[in-house]
Amino acid sequence: MVHDLPEPAPGELTPGWPATAAGLVDVQRRLAAADPPPWRPPDESAVGGCFACTPRGQAGRGGAGDPVWAGAATFRRRRCVARATAVGTAAGGYEAGLLALRVGAPLAAAVRDLPEVPDVLLVDATGRDHPRRAGLAVHLGAVLALPTVGVTHRTLLATGEWPPDDPGATSPLWLDGQRVGHWLRTRAGRRPVAVHAGWRTDPDTAVAVVRAVARHRTPAPLREARRLARLRRAGREPVTWPQVGRTALR
C-alpha cells in the first residue's frame, strides 16, 4: 500500500539538519533528552533501509560541498516493493559523532521519495552508541517521524563480547553501564553486525527487526539501498518505482 510519511505528533521534536557542527551538537543534545513513545512492530512490518556514499578514492575526511549519493528501499515479506535515490551535498567533512552533518539531508530526501514508506527504517549509522546518545539513526528517525534502527559493522563507543557463532545469536552492547544495542550474528562464520537502538526503538526491538530480515550479513533493505546509491554514483540510473528519476533534495 502506498502511503505518505507520517506527520509528527503535536509537540514532537522536528530537528532538521543544522549546517554547522555546533548546531548539530545542540540538536543531538535535545534529541537525547527527548522521550518519544516506544514503537512495537506490527505483525507484518515493511522494513526499509537507507545508505549514502561519497566520491570513490576520496582522500582524508572530505569537506563541505562534497557530492553525496543516497539510496533507499522498502521490503515487505522479503521482497523489495519500493526504491528511490537522491543526490545532495555534504555540509561538512567526516567527523565521528557528526555524520548527520555529512549525509543526513540526502538520506532523508531518498526516504521521502520512496513510493511506499516503511514501518521501520534501517540506517547505516549508530543510534544511542554515540557521545551524546543521538547518532544519525536517532536523528534521521526524528526528522522523518519514523522508527529507526542503526546497523553498522563496528561500534562507535559501545563495547561487548561477541555472541556465539550461531545464526541469530546476540550479545549486549554497553555504553557507560547502559545497554544501547546488540551484536547480532547473522551468519555462522562471519563477523557479527552491531544493531543499535534508534528513534522510538529499544535494543530488543531493534535486534528483533534486523534478525527478521537478515538473510545475509548485511540485512537485505540495507544491501539494496547500498546498491542503489553506488549505481547512482557510477552514473547509472537505477530502476525505481514509479520509474522516474528522483534527483533533487526537498
The C-alpha angle with vertex 18 and arms to 13 and 23, in degrees rounded to 5, equals 90
Strands 170-175 vs 148-152: parallel, antiparallel or unpaired: unpaired
- Grid cell of 195 as nine digits: 544493531
242 prior amide bond cis, ω within 30: yes
Tell me the C-alpha to C-alpha distance, in Å, between residue 226 and each of 25, 86, 163: 27, 12, 26
Percent pLDDT > 70 in the chain is 90
Report, at the CATH architecture level, how domain 46-55+63-233 is classified. 2-Layer Sandwich (3.30)
pLDDT of residue 242: 47
Q: Give dist(CA 132, CA 121) in Å, integer.
A: 21
177-209 residue pLDDT tens: 999 999 999 989 999 999 999 999 999 999 999
153-167 residue pLDDT tens: 999 999 999 999 999
At 43, the pLDDT band (50, 70, 90 cuts) reads confident
Q: Give dist(CA 154, CA 138) in Å, integer.
A: 17
Closest by Cα among 65, 68, 134 to 97: 134
pLDDT of residue 143: 97
- The mean per-residue pLDDT over the stretch 104-127 comes to 97
Tell me the C-alpha to C-alpha distance, in Å, between residue 217 and each of 160, 172, 194, 229: 19, 18, 11, 19
121-152 residue pLDDT tens: 999 999 999 999 999 999 999 999 999 999 99
Q: Give dist(CA 12, CA 35) in Å, integer.
A: 9
* Alpha-helical segments (H) within 117-219: 136-144, 203-213
Helix, coil or strand: residue 107 = helix
Residue 11 has pLDDT above 70, yes or no: no
Tell me the C-alpha to C-alpha distance, in Å, between residue 12 and each of 8, 15, 35, 119, 200: 6, 9, 9, 18, 12
Residue 8 has pLDDT above 70, yes or no: no
pLDDT of residue 224: 97
Q: How many CB atoms lie within 10 A of CB 223?
A: 20
Please enumerate in sequence order all residues whose Cβ is within 8 A of that of 7, keeping only pairs 6 or more positions apart, or say none.
145
At 247, the pLDDT band (50, 70, 90 cuts) reads very low
Q: How many CB atoms lie within 10 A of CB 176?
A: 8
45-76 residue pLDDT tens: 999 999 999 998 777 789 999 999 999 999 99
Q: Amino acid letter at 104?
A: G
Residue 2 has pLDDT above 60, yes or no: no
pLDDT of residue 240: 63
